[in-house]
Homo-oligomer: A and B are copies of this chain.
Amino acid sequence: MLDQIHWLAAVTVLGVLEQAYFFLQVIYARRLFGISPPKISGPPEFERIFRAQVNSSEYFPIFLALLWQAGLFFHQGLAAALGLLYLYARYCYFMGYKASSSERLAPIYFSAGVLWILIAVSALGILHFFLSHYVGLNVLQFLTA
Protein backbone atom coordinates (compact mmCIF):
# COMPACT_ATOMS: atom_id res chain seq x y z
CA MET A 1 0.00 0.00 0.00
CA LEU A 2 2.85 2.40 0.90
CA ASP A 3 4.00 1.86 -2.66
CA GLN A 4 1.03 3.94 -3.88
CA ILE A 5 1.53 6.84 -1.48
CA HIS A 6 5.25 7.32 -0.75
CA TRP A 7 5.63 10.30 -3.12
CA LEU A 8 2.47 11.87 -1.67
CA ALA A 9 3.85 11.35 1.84
CA ALA A 10 7.19 12.94 0.88
CA VAL A 11 5.49 16.04 -0.60
CA THR A 12 3.22 16.24 2.48
CA VAL A 13 6.20 16.35 4.87
CA LEU A 14 7.89 18.93 2.62
CA GLY A 15 4.70 21.02 2.76
CA VAL A 16 4.75 20.82 6.57
CA LEU A 17 8.35 22.07 6.58
CA GLU A 18 7.28 25.02 4.40
CA GLN A 19 4.44 25.82 6.84
CA ALA A 20 6.96 25.67 9.70
CA TYR A 21 9.15 28.17 7.81
CA PHE A 22 6.17 30.54 7.43
CA PHE A 23 5.35 30.28 11.16
CA LEU A 24 8.97 31.11 12.02
CA GLN A 25 8.83 34.17 9.74
CA VAL A 26 5.84 35.48 11.73
CA ILE A 27 7.69 34.90 15.01
CA TYR A 28 10.71 36.87 13.68
CA ALA A 29 8.40 39.66 12.42
CA ARG A 30 6.68 39.85 15.83
CA ARG A 31 10.09 40.38 17.47
CA LEU A 32 11.27 42.84 14.81
CA PHE A 33 8.18 45.06 15.06
CA GLY A 34 7.61 44.48 18.79
CA ILE A 35 4.10 43.04 18.41
CA SER A 36 3.44 40.56 21.21
CA PRO A 37 0.64 37.99 21.02
CA PRO A 38 -2.36 38.11 21.22
CA LYS A 39 -2.04 41.33 19.11
CA ILE A 40 -2.31 40.78 15.36
CA SER A 41 -2.36 44.34 14.03
CA GLY A 42 0.62 46.58 13.41
CA PRO A 43 2.50 48.28 10.58
CA PRO A 44 1.66 47.05 7.03
CA GLU A 45 5.08 45.31 6.86
CA PHE A 46 4.05 43.09 9.76
CA GLU A 47 0.45 42.59 8.65
CA ARG A 48 1.56 41.42 5.20
CA ILE A 49 3.79 38.68 6.66
CA PHE A 50 1.07 37.74 9.13
CA ARG A 51 -1.62 37.53 6.44
CA ALA A 52 0.71 35.55 4.12
CA GLN A 53 1.05 32.92 6.85
CA VAL A 54 -2.69 32.85 7.64
CA ASN A 55 -3.60 32.51 3.96
CA SER A 56 -1.05 29.70 3.48
CA SER A 57 -2.42 27.92 6.57
CA GLU A 58 -6.01 28.17 5.30
CA TYR A 59 -5.01 26.63 1.96
CA PHE A 60 -2.83 23.87 3.44
CA PRO A 61 -5.63 21.34 4.19
CA ILE A 62 -7.19 22.06 0.79
CA PHE A 63 -3.84 21.42 -0.88
CA LEU A 64 -3.30 18.16 1.02
CA ALA A 65 -6.84 16.92 0.28
CA LEU A 66 -6.33 17.50 -3.47
CA LEU A 67 -2.77 16.13 -3.54
CA TRP A 68 -3.95 12.83 -2.08
CA GLN A 69 -7.12 12.43 -4.17
CA ALA A 70 -5.19 13.25 -7.36
CA GLY A 71 -2.43 10.83 -6.35
CA LEU A 72 -4.72 7.97 -5.35
CA PHE A 73 -7.26 8.24 -8.18
CA PHE A 74 -5.23 9.62 -11.11
CA HIS A 75 -1.44 9.31 -10.94
CA GLN A 76 0.88 9.51 -7.94
CA GLY A 77 3.89 10.96 -9.81
CA LEU A 78 1.87 13.68 -11.55
CA ALA A 79 0.14 14.64 -8.29
CA ALA A 80 3.50 14.86 -6.47
CA ALA A 81 4.99 17.00 -9.29
CA LEU A 82 1.99 19.36 -9.15
CA GLY A 83 2.38 19.38 -5.38
CA LEU A 84 6.01 20.51 -5.63
CA LEU A 85 4.93 23.22 -8.09
CA TYR A 86 2.30 24.40 -5.61
CA LEU A 87 4.79 24.53 -2.72
CA TYR A 88 7.18 26.54 -4.91
CA ALA A 89 4.35 28.97 -5.86
CA ARG A 90 3.45 29.35 -2.16
CA TYR A 91 7.07 30.20 -1.35
CA CYS A 92 7.09 32.89 -4.07
CA TYR A 93 3.74 34.16 -2.78
CA PHE A 94 5.07 34.48 0.77
CA MET A 95 8.26 36.27 -0.31
CA GLY A 96 6.32 38.50 -2.71
CA TYR A 97 3.70 39.46 -0.10
CA LYS A 98 6.51 40.21 2.39
CA ALA A 99 7.93 42.73 -0.12
CA SER A 100 4.64 44.36 -1.15
CA SER A 101 0.92 43.62 -1.52
CA SER A 102 1.07 43.73 -5.32
CA GLU A 103 3.97 41.25 -5.55
CA ARG A 104 1.78 38.56 -3.99
CA LEU A 105 -0.58 38.60 -6.99
CA ALA A 106 1.36 36.74 -9.71
CA PRO A 107 2.36 33.78 -7.48
CA ILE A 108 -1.11 33.55 -5.85
CA TYR A 109 -2.72 33.31 -9.31
CA PHE A 110 -0.14 30.69 -10.28
CA SER A 111 -0.74 28.66 -7.10
CA ALA A 112 -4.51 28.89 -7.67
CA GLY A 113 -3.96 27.59 -11.21
CA VAL A 114 -2.05 24.58 -9.87
CA LEU A 115 -4.87 23.88 -7.40
CA TRP A 116 -7.46 24.01 -10.19
CA ILE A 117 -5.39 21.50 -12.18
CA LEU A 118 -5.26 19.28 -9.07
CA ILE A 119 -9.06 19.62 -8.75
CA ALA A 120 -9.53 18.66 -12.43
CA VAL A 121 -7.14 15.72 -12.16
CA SER A 122 -8.80 14.49 -8.93
CA ALA A 123 -12.30 14.84 -10.40
CA LEU A 124 -11.28 13.01 -13.60
CA GLY A 125 -9.64 10.20 -11.65
CA ILE A 126 -12.66 9.77 -9.34
CA LEU A 127 -15.10 9.97 -12.29
CA HIS A 128 -13.07 7.31 -14.11
CA PHE A 129 -13.28 5.07 -11.04
CA PHE A 130 -17.07 5.56 -10.74
CA LEU A 131 -17.62 4.82 -14.44
CA SER A 132 -15.55 1.63 -14.43
CA HIS A 133 -16.89 0.52 -11.03
CA TYR A 134 -20.63 1.12 -11.50
CA VAL A 135 -21.17 1.29 -15.28
CA GLY A 136 -18.40 -1.11 -16.23
CA LEU A 137 -17.11 1.49 -18.67
CA ASN A 138 -13.32 1.66 -18.81
CA VAL A 139 -12.71 4.97 -20.61
CA LEU A 140 -8.98 4.37 -21.12
CA GLN A 141 -9.60 0.95 -22.66
CA PHE A 142 -12.42 2.44 -24.78
CA LEU A 143 -10.16 5.21 -26.13
CA THR A 144 -7.29 2.91 -27.02
CA ALA A 145 -9.47 0.13 -28.48
Binding site for B on A (CB under 8 A): 1-6, 9-10, 12-13, 15-17, 19-20, 36-40, 44, 47-48, 50-51, 54, 57-58, 60-62, 64-66, 69, 72-73, 97, 101, 104, 115, 119, 122-123, 126, 129-130, 133
Which of A69, A72, A104 is packed against the most chain B CB atoms within 10 Å?
Answer: A69
Total identical chains? 3
Assess whether B101 is in contact with A2, with CB atoms less than 8 Å apart.
Answer: no
A40 CB to nearest B CB, Å: 7
- Of all chain B residues, the one with the shortest Cβ separation from A12 is B65
Docked complex Cα distance between A58 and B16 (Å): 12
With A119-B16, A119-B17 as contacts: A6 and B126 at CB distance below 8 Å: yes
